Amino acid sequence: MMWRIFLSLVLAAVVLQGTEPLSDEDGPLVLDYYREQCPLAEEIVSRSVAVAVAKDPRMAASLLRLHFHDCFVMGCDASVLLDSYGGITSEKQAGPNHKSLRGFKVVDEIKYLLEEACPGTVSCADILALAARDAVALRGGPRWNVWLGRRDSLEASFSGANQFIPAPNSSLETLIANFKQQGLDIGDLVALSGSHTMGKAQCLSFRQRVYDVQLRGEYELHDKYKRYTTFRRILRSICPESGRDHELAPLDHQTPTRFDNLYYINLLQGKGLLGSDNVLVTQDDEGEIVKQVWAYASNEKLFFASFAESMIKMGNINVLTGSHGEIRKNCRFVNT
Ligand code: HEM
Ligand SMILES: *[C@@H]1O[C@H](CO)[C@@H](O)[C@H](O)[C@H]1NC(C)=O
């Protein structure tokens, strides 16, 4: 009797294994995709990212953001890497990207090494997904599995970049709608916003947040805390009401280069740098988001697990696989 139960369990397990897709994310991507064709691919990416981040710690943030800006415009297809050429108007010229996105040269270097090792094999879109993962891990954040096999787009979308990359002065409602368009929910919005635990923003990205009474209004309450007032005074000294548009401030004033959960502690103290950070706690009428912010602020492990899960989800947005797209030889141009 026991035997029969045991046997049927084993059989069931075997059958299940046979029908389960390789990826437990249920997407078209695959773990260890380059094992046969380019066994060193992941290693080449991680070493290059480590070198780049050692030279410039902010590069970790920049590479993470690059993957985000890729995925939100036509999906994770490296469209963001294309330069203007022929019929293509580069997404790099779009409002949210111009004089702001960084890391293109690092991606070029990685692609160069990969083309040396295994020509025409590893997509630029996969490079972005891997580099983002490695960048986060290098600064003390979580590590997650990256399902691979993305192919590169044959086009870019300048208008898409203007339309789909959220603006720092968006309302909470707009941010939620923006993420929803990408198949991401409020939980993903709150977890992925935690990316702003590292990197920098320009004065023009947070000016409205430190001067505009409307944006400030809801947390006027905090003014009685001197620390908060000091925070705003410092930001105003970095970023005057006009001019010095490109002056930089850290997104996380406490640990600007570490990937940790201090972003959420900042939010609760009214010290999120961008308007889009602050609205998570100031415009959350139902209180669900604030609850999540509290949870992440008090439990870094929980934040790391949610972040990893949401990054995998983001990395699956509208990926090109099979016969769609191509493997670009140069990430800046479609193959001729
Ligand atoms: C929720 C909506 C979001 C808005 C409105 C937003 C907006 C911004 C803005 C305005 C900047 C500064 C750009 C500049 O001044 O040059 C920035 C920086 C950054 N963002 Fe976001 N972002 C959002 C979500 C995300 C997500 C989902 C990620 C990653 C998964 C991310 C990662 C980053 C990183 C790492 C930086 C710093 C980049 C660097 O230092 O080079 N952001 N973001
Ligand atoms: C957000 O900023 C842009 C560019 O500075 C501006 O045109 C727009 O009116 C602002 N939107 C809101 C809701 O304040």
Tell me the pLDDT tens digit for each residue of 57-113. Answer: 999 999 999 999 999 999 999 999 999 999 999 999 999 999 999 999 999 999 999
Confidence of residue 211 (pLDDT cuts 50, 70, 90): confident
**What number does the ligand 1 atom closest to the CA of 168 have?**
5
C-alpha to C-alpha distances, 9 to 18, 22, 24, 243, nearest whole angstrom: 14, 21, 21, 70
Residue 137 CA to residue 6 CA, distance in Å, equals 41
C-alpha to C-alpha distances, 84 to 90, 297, 305, nearest whole angstrom: 5, 42, 38
Q: Tell whether residue 98 is among the known ligand binding residues.
A: no
pLDDT value of residue 8: 52
Q: Which domains does the chain have, with CATH numbers?
A: 2-164 (1.10.520.10), 184-313 (1.10.420.10)
- Contact criterion met (CB below 8 Å) for 42 and 335: no
Higher pLDDT, 130 or 210: 130
Mention every residue, 6+ apart, whose C-beta is less than 8 A from residue 334.
Answer: 82, 88, 152, 153, 154, 155, 326, 328
Side chain identity, residue 216: R
- Reported residue count of the chain is 336
Ligand 2, atom 11: nearest CA belongs to which residue?
A: 169
Q: Which of 165, 169, 209, 241 to mutate to test the pocket of ligand 2 (most atoms within 8 A of CB)?
A: 169
Q: Return the structure tokens found at 292.
A: 């999540």
pLDDT value of residue 232: 87
Ligand 1, atom 35: nearest CA belongs to which residue?
A: 61
| Region for residue 74 given its phi and psi (left: phi exceeds 0; alpha: psi -120 to 50; beta: otherwise) | left
Is 98 catalytic? The answer is no
Residue 149 CA to residue 122 CA, distance in Å, equals 8
Confidence of residue 227 (pLDDT cuts 50, 70, 90): very low
Q: In the chain, what is the straight-line distance between the N-terminal and C-terminal CA atoms, in Å?
A: 66
Whether 205 lines ligand 2, by a CB cut-off of 6 Å, is no
Whether 195 lines ligand 1, by a CB cut-off of 6 Å, is yes
**Kind plus residue range of the DSSP H or E element containing 282:** helix 275-282
pLDDT value of residue 229: 75
Whether 169 lines ligand 2, by a CB cut-off of 6 Å, is yes
Q: Which of 208, 245, 276 to mutate to test the pocket of ligand 2 (most atoms within 8 A of CB)?
A: 208
HEC string for 135-193: HHHHCCCCCCCCCECCEECCCCCHHHHHHHCCCCCCCHHHHHHHHHHCCCCHHHHHHHH
| Beta bridge pairs of residue 335 | none
Residue 75 CA to residue 125 CA, distance in Å, equals 10
Q: Which of 53, 62, 65, 163 to mutate to test the pocket of ligand 1 (most atoms within 8 A of CB)?
A: 65
pLDDT digits (tens, 9 = 90+) for 32-47: 999 999 999 999 999 9
Residue 26 CA to residue 212 CA, distance in Å, equals 44
Choose the catalytic residue: 69, 98, 222, 324.
Answer: 69
pLDDT value of residue 24: 45
Specify the range with the lowest mean pLDDT, choosing from 119-133, 188-202, 216-230, 277-291.
Answer: 216-230
Q: Span 128-150, mean pLDDT?
A: 98
Whether 199 lines ligand 1, by a CB cut-off of 6 Å, is yes
